[in-house]
Amino acid sequence: MKSPRRGREGGFSLVELAVSLAIVGVVGLALWRFIPLARQISQGSALKDELAQAQAATEGFVLRAHRLPCPDTDNDGHENCAAGALGTLPWRDLGLGATQGALRYGVYRAGGHDLAASALTHQAPLLPIGYTVSTTANGLDFCTKLRGAITTPGAAGALTAGNVEVAYALAHPGADGQFQGLNTLGFDLPGRARDNTYDDSVVAAGLSELSGRMACPSRLGEATVAARAAMAAYDIDRDAKQFQEFRDFASQVRTTNKNFAAANVGLTILDLLDATATTASSVSIAANSVGVGAATVVVAVAAMLAAIASQVSADASLAMAIIGELKAQAQATGAAQIKAQTAAALIHAGNNAVAVDNKGLTP
């Protein structure tokens, strides 16, 4: 008997070979389509990283220099602040690599709100007497200029990206190293789709967007509130001082009244002694005279009684004056305590206003 065959002795059949070639063709076609796409994805990722680094360095420059960097117009990697609003990124001044020197860079420098200009003198807030801030410009001055640009839209010569005013813009020429679209003269809006004829990428920060990103509204608001709180504390302390002076004067008046009342008591005592002596003398005369001096005794007794009444009244007035003096002294002490509290509040508010203003945009 013949043993059964364990397998085919020949190679692939025509059908199997055709299927294998078809599979290889499909895989090859997929690879042929995927490799350029993968290259574009890789290039796009590197491009985004370069733009992200450039954007972070540009905004970080504000925290250090209190302004946006000026463009580089002679391709040496350094700022040229006298040359205008457009150029390339000053990568050396920003601490970046030379590859970022190919980025187009523009900054808002129009309408009297030059975001790249240095502020030589700080616009100090109004603070109470005795409290001053540094005259050196800080990030709050940049925020003030930025707010001015926001509130005066449509300034002639303002930097735009796709006809939208922006604080700054960055454009990458893509893999071909050539700018396309609006980037040949200015900037396209960020987010334009990249295709076979356009491989540029643009990032930009709008005026309000940058203001929010740099925390300008909160920092300016904090500085304004701190300055106004200091002035309010100053006014309250001044009122407390006047109130204390009034209470001190009232206490002095009460003390004077007490002194007068005490002197009056002394006088009534003298009057009483005199009336008593007169009465005694009248009684003695009346006793030694028959029918003579009775009227004198009556008059003397009446005078003594009046003197006694005057002394009682004087004693009562003195007691009331002493009570009034004690009350006035207590009120003066309370006013002095209030003045001490308002003085401490003024010191705290004034020091806080100075600290907040000097801090600027520093985290």
Per-residue pLDDT of the chain (363 residues; tens, 9 = 90+): 444 544 455 555 766 666 666 676 666 666 556 555 445 544 456 778 889 999 999 999 999 999 999 999 999 999 999 988 999 999 999 999 998 999 999 999 987 889 999 887 898 999 999 999 999 999 999 999 999 999 988 888 899 998 899 999 999 998 888 999 999 889 999 988 888 889 899 999 999 999 999 999 999 999 999 999 999 999 999 999 999 999 999 999 999 999 998 998 888 888 888 878 877 777 777 666 655 556 777 777 788 888 888 889 988 999 999 999 999 999 999 999 999 999 999 999 999 999 999 999 988
Q: Which of 185, 214, 243 delimits the end of a domain?
A: 214
Number of domains forming the structure of the chain: 2
How many CB atoms are closer than 10 A to CB 103? Answer: 24
Q: Residue 17: inside a domain, yes or no?
A: no
- Where is 165: in which H helix or E strand? strand 164-172
Do 171 and 83 belong to one domain? yes
**First vs last C-alpha separation in the chain:** 95
Q: What is the Cα–Cα distance from 58 to 52, expressed in whole angstroms?
A: 10
Do 48 and 130 belong to one domain? yes
Helices (H), the chain: 14-65, 91-94, 139-151, 207-213, 216-288, 294-359
Q: Residue 151: inside a domain, yes or no?
A: yes
**In sequence order, what are the beta bridge partners of 160?**
165
Q: Which residue has the tokens 């002795």?
A: 9
Range of the domain at 271: 229-359
pLDDT tens sequence across 66-113: 999 999 999 999 999 998 899 999 999 999 999 899 999 999 998 788
Query: Residue 138 in contact with residue 66, Cβ under 8 Å?
Result: yes
Angle made by CA atoms 210, 100, 362, in degrees to the nearest 5: 35
Q: Residue 145: inside a domain, yes or no?
A: yes
The CATH number of whichever domain residue 339 belongs to comes to: 1.10.287.620
Do 249 and 190 belong to one domain? no
Query: Residue 294 in contact with residue 316, Cβ under 8 Å?
Result: no
Q: What is the Cα–Cα distance from 115 to 118, expressed in whole angstroms?
A: 8
Give the pLDDT confidence score for residue 191 in this predicted structure: 86
Q: Residue 222: inside a domain, yes or no?
A: no
The torsion of the CA quartet 173, 175, 178, 181, rounded to 10 degrees, works out to: -60
Q: Residue 29: inside a domain, yes or no?
A: no
Do 238 and 179 belong to one domain? no
Q: Which of 157, 179, 214 delimits the end of a domain?
A: 214
Do 194 and 58 belong to one domain? yes
Do 237 and 204 belong to one domain? no
For residues 59-85, b (16+ Cβ closer than 10 Å) or e, as one string?
bebbeebbbbbbbbbeeebbbbbeeeb
Instruction: Tell me the longest C-alpha to C-alpha distance in the chain.
Output: 195
For residues 143-158, b (16+ Cβ closer than 10 Å) or e, as one string?
bebbbebbeeeebeeb
Q: Is the dihedral of CA 100, 106, 112, 115 positive or negative?
A: negative
Give the pLDDT confidence score for residue 299 in this predicted structure: 78
Amino acid code (one letter) for 210:
L
Do 107 and 186 belong to one domain? yes
pLDDT tens sequence across 258-286: 999 899 888 888 888 887 887 777 777 76
Amino acid code (one letter) for 174:
G
Do 174 and 268 belong to one domain? no
Give the pLDDT confidence score for residue 293 in this predicted structure: 59
**In sequence order, what are the beta bridge partners of 170?**
105, 203
Do 45 and 137 belong to one domain? yes
- Provide the 8-state DSSP code for 198: B
Q: Residue 208: inside a domain, yes or no?
A: yes
- Provide the 8-state DSSP code for 151: H
Q: What is the Cα–Cα distance from 313 to 264, expressed in whole angstroms?
A: 10
Angle between helices 216-288 and 139-151 (to 10 degrees): 110
